Chain A
């Protein structure tokens, strides 16, 4: 996943924007560190939806796991897919 970062103050700006929300300077694009943690989750039918935090960025995605042992702060890896022209996020647990 690509995020934007301020060229001057290095603040992460997400959702992506061409300007920094702190110093208003231009941003550059870079890959996010795709290892993060679970902030919170719930379940709809058999689908676990979850807020994951990667660096300081929080996004809602689907947690793909058969484990019942899920807790906030569990380590996860971020994957993305383009579904129906929309970027969709998936997470997998890291042991």
Chain B
């Protein structure tokens, strides 16, 4: 059974210190008003967050007057959002549900910020350490330099200027990125996405419902997910095997190839991640990710990370995968305003967790 995304909403991404419940309510209330859907038709609410607050989906259901059949939280660190979308897809495609709200949120200082359980990281548990080691190893193997990395950051911060919900509101030149504060020998502050407070929500529907209640539904045609380890040091440092396998599975499901993708949001938690992701998804050959990003930067082509990615938009962990999906849906509906990629028909979302030890790929189409 086909599954569609029909509506979406988001809060602004900020450094506001508020209750997780409050920010979840904001995006879901907005979604319900915008979509004009009869609340009686909603079968469930799935929440993606790393927050430790309990029984959130039941609370949101009650406060907004929804009698959910299915209401629970899904947590899988930074890819919680797309994991929740995949769960909603399964409920709808199996016939258990016709309409599900998937909403993600986190605050600027979330429990999911540091993965304490990775004993292989010793006392170096903060993500800046794996990102530095990825960057150093990639530079050593493929000979990229600080300009290659800075162009990615500059590109994505600049894309975010046209995203009304993005945390970043400034333009940065390549030189600004290179001159920004050094975090480690291989990482500047502007190579790091910023944890922030935010919530994004989407409404997913069965084909019957989408035909009845939406004029421009976007269909999810490919899904791939893969978890290859928990512990970062077991990974190759210059590629993301989980992304590679998830992509192959997603492309195989919809019988498409990477060169057919018109627009993509990839998980640029750090600049190096965009290079590795676009290679492992298959947009370019291994070792040529920086060349592709450079070409996009030079030609002002925003087909990769049009909303600004995580670098430009900010990273409210549980909301990220849903915000990425919202962007691709807007692009495919031709409703992305100044960010619009012309004739975008097929879009891809790449969302990952904990140094790419697991990844999710979604492929969507408007046709």
Inter-subunit contact B237/A40 (CB<8 Å):
yes
Indicate whether A42 sits within 8 Å of B122 (C-beta atoms), given known contacts A51-B133, A58-B233, A60-B233.
no
- B129 in complex: contacting residue of A58, A60, A83, CB < 8 Å: A60
- Among residues 131 to 185 in chain B, which have CB atoms less than 8 Å away from a CB atom of chain A? 132-133, 135-137, 140, 183-185
Q: Give, as a whole number of angstroms, the nearest-CB distance from A68 to chain B.
A: 12
B288 within 8 Å of A (CB atoms): no
- CB-based contact A59/B136 at 8 Å: no
Asked whether, in the complex, the Cβ of A59 is within 8 Å of the Cβ of B233, the reply is yes
Q: Does B259 contact A (CB under 8 A)?
A: no
Interface string of B309-338 (1 = CB under 8 A from A): 000000000000000000000000000000
In the bound complex, do residue A42 and residue B231 qualify as a contact, i.e. CB atoms below 8 Å apart? no
**Structural contact, A41 and B136, CB atoms closer than 8 A:** yes
Does the CB pair B136–A88 fall under 8 Å?
A: no
Q: Is the CB of A40 within 8 A of B120?
A: no
Most chain A CB inside 10 Å of its own CB: which residue of B128, B185, B187: B185
Q: Which of A29-83 contact B (CB under 8 A)?
A: 39-44, 49, 51, 57-62, 72, 83
CB distance from B184 to the nearest CB of A (A): 5
With A51-B233, A60-B233 in contact, is A42–B123 under 8 Å at CB? Answer: no
In the assembled complex, the CB of B145 is this many whole angstroms from the nearest CB of chain A, namely 16
The answer for the CA separation of A89 and B122 in the assembled complex, in Å, is 6
- Name the contact of B122 in the complex, choosing from A41, A43, A44, A59 (C-beta under 8 A): A59
B124 touching A43 by the CB < 8 A rule?
A: no
Contact A87 B122 (CB under 8 A): yes
Pair A42/B186 contact, Cβ less than 8 Å = yes
Contact of B120 among A49, A60, A83, A86 (CB under 8 A): A60
- Write the nearest CB–CB distance from B236 to chain A, whole angstroms: 10
Interfacial chain B residues near A60, Cβ < 8 Å: 120-122, 124, 129, 133, 233
Inside 8 A of B133's CB, which chain A residues have their CB?
40-42, 49, 51, 60
Residue pair B132, A42 in contact (C-beta under 8 Å): yes
Query: Bound state CA distance, A14 and B230, in angstroms?
Result: 11
Q: Which of B123, B183, B237 has the most CB of A within 10 A?
A: B123
- When C-beta atoms are compared, the residue in chain B nearest to A39 turns out to be B237
User: Would you call B122 and A15 a contact (CB within 8 A)?
Assistant: no
The B66-122 residues at the A interface (CB cut-off 8 A) are: 119-122
A42-B120 in contact (CB<8A): no
B234 CB within 8 Å of chain A: yes
**Which residues of chain B come closer than 8 Å to A61, judged between CB atoms?**
122, 124
Minimum Cβ distance to chain B for residue A57 (Å): 8
Complex contact A44–B123 (CB within 8 A): no
- B184 near A15 (CB under 8 angstroms)? no
Which residue, of A42, A72, A86, has the highest number of chain B Cβ atoms within 10 A? A42
Judge whether B123 and A83 touch: CB under 8 Å: yes
User: Can you name the residue of chain A whose Cβ is closest to the Cβ of B120?
Assistant: A59
Check B233–A42 contact: CB distance below 8 A. Answer: no
Q: Given A49-B129, A60-B233, decide whether A42 and B136 contact each other with a Cβ distance below 8 A.
A: yes
CA distance A87 to B86 in the complex (A): 37
Flag if B119 contacts A15 (CB, 8 Å): yes
* C-alpha gap A39/B135 in the complex (Å): 13
Complexed CA–CA distance, A14 and B118 (Å): 11
Q: Which of B124, B135, B231, B234 contacts A49 (CB 8 A)?
A: B124
- Which of B122, B128, B185 meets A88, CB within 8 Å? B122
A55 to B140, CA, bound (A): 24
Please, which residue of chain B has its CB at the minimum distance from the CB of A71? B140
Most buried by A among B120, B121, B124, B136: B124
The contact of A40 among B121, B124, B128, B136, by CB within 8 Å, is B136
Chain A contacts to B: CB under 8 angstroms: 14-15, 39-44, 49, 51, 57-62, 72, 83, 86-89
Contacts A49-B129, A51-B133 given; 7 further ones with Cβ under 8 A?
A15-B231, A42-B133, A58-B234, A60-B120, A60-B133, A60-B233, A89-B122
Binding site for A on B (CB under 8 A): 119-124, 128-129, 132-133, 135-137, 140, 183-187, 231, 233-234, 237
Of the A-B pairs whose beta carbons lie under 8 Å apart in the complex, a sample of 12, sorted by A's number, is A39-B237, A40-B136, A41-B136, A42-B136, A42-B184, A49-B124, A59-B122, A59-B233, A60-B121, A60-B129, A87-B119, A87-B122
